[in-house]
Amino acid sequence: MPAIIAAAAVLILTLLPVAAPWLQFVLTLAIAKGFAALGVAVLLRAGLISIGHAMFFAASAYAVAFLARAGVNDLGLLLILSVLGGALVGAVAGSFLVRYRAIFFAMLNLAVSMVFYALCAKLYGVTGGTDGMPVPVPAVFGIALGEPAFKSVLFYLSLGLMVLVGLAVQRYLNSPLGHALSAVHTNEIRLEYLGIPVWAVLLIAYVISAALAGLGGAIAGFAIGRVVPDFAFWTASGHLVLIAVLGGIGGVPGAFIGALFLELLHSAAVTVTDSWNLIVGMTLIIVIMFMPQGVYGLFARKEATSL
């Protein structure tokens, strides 16, 4: 995607909540889901589909709630610690999940995430069960803010992180580690014969993808003000895969484009009909049939033809 288009898109996103304040929440949530979908897209590069990444999304959101309950009251610290928590859960789960491929990988991710979901829902005394846990408004650099001001700070922080983390992930994908990750999809034997440990390549990718999902979950927790077990439900994981495929896995912006597209479509559809799922579903079918490289593919193609 040409830098100028990306810069223009970020500028429009920056200005949108000024023109339509109700969009601020929708966009914050879309960016949060975009981070998680980017995590899924990272693994898709290796041909691995995770139908369990909502677990990391939820893990970091719960981490924020637990840390807040324990007295941590700084936005930056909460974000860093919760993302590290998500990455740690990713390291533990990834240490055995990366041994599997194809349907086994997808199903095992699903199974582990559903165990996590059940624990969140059933351990009422710890997690609040299906009522979930509140995520209070934290201080920002020691300054206590009212909720509306905090939500604005959260939106612009999310936007900034989208650019910075997006560039970092792009850098990772362009590195030997990132190329090795794509190579896992095409030829694991050759990778081993190059002396590159496939399990390490996949574990690093898995931890990065879990951290990304965790970052999304933490932002969503702050935006919604509560974390519930449904954050980890399997349909939420499926939703992340859908966003990644819809946006396109050809580049980092794809995940965010997919998330923004889906959230805005959803917001528009609910205003038209109660059967908004029908509109969303039909749109998805059209995108998948006529844009096999996702919405991002439109920009990528333009870039290719401009050469």
Partner 1 sequence: MTRPILEAKGLHVAFNGVKAADDVSIAIHDGEFLAIIGPNGSGKTTLLNICTGYIRPKSGSVQLDGHDITHLSPRAIARRGVARAFQIPQLFSAQRVIDNMMLALAATDGLWSAVQPLETARRRDEARALLDLVGLAGDADRISSTLPEGHRKLLDIAVALALKPRLLLLDEPTSGVSALERFPLMEALMSALRQRRITALFVEHDMDVVARYASRVLVWNAGNIMAEGRPDEVFSNAQVRQRVVGVA
Binding residues (CB under 8 A) for partner 1: these are 171-172, 174-180, 182-183, 185-187, 189-190, 192-197
When the beta carbons of 130 and 174 are compared against partner 1, the nearer one is 174
- For residues 31 and 158, the answer to whether their CB atoms sit within 8 Å is yes
When the beta carbons of 124 and 199 are compared against partner 1, the nearer one is 199
When the beta carbons of 171 and 302 are compared against partner 1, the nearer one is 171
In 10 A of CB 22, how many CB atoms?
8
Q: How far from 74 is each of 134, 141, 156, 170, 294, CA to CA, in Å?
A: 16, 7, 17, 29, 38
When the beta carbons of 229 and 294 are compared against partner 1, the nearer one is 294
Q: How far is the CB of 250 from partner 1 (least distance, A)?
A: 12
Q: How far is the CB of 175 from partner 1 (least distance, A)?
A: 5
142 secondary structure, DSSP code? T
Q: How far is the CB of 1 from partner 1 (least distance, A)?
A: 18
Q: How far is the CB of 215 from partner 1 (least distance, A)?
A: 19
When the beta carbons of 30 and 181 are compared against partner 1, the nearer one is 181
When the beta carbons of 186 and 275 are compared against partner 1, the nearer one is 186
Q: How far is the CB of 220 from partner 1 (least distance, A)?
A: 29
Which of 55, 23, 27, 48 has its CA nearest to residue 256? 27
> What does the angle CA 297 – CA 43 – CA 232 come to, to the nearest 5 degrees?
105
Angle between helices 75-97 and 147-174 (to 10 degrees): 40
**Cα separation, 54 vs 213, whole angstroms:** 7
- Report, in angstroms and rounded to the nearest whole number, the Rg of the chain calculated over CA atoms: 19
Q: How far is the CB of 204 from partner 1 (least distance, A)?
A: 9
Task: Read off the tokens for 130.
Answer: 């299906």
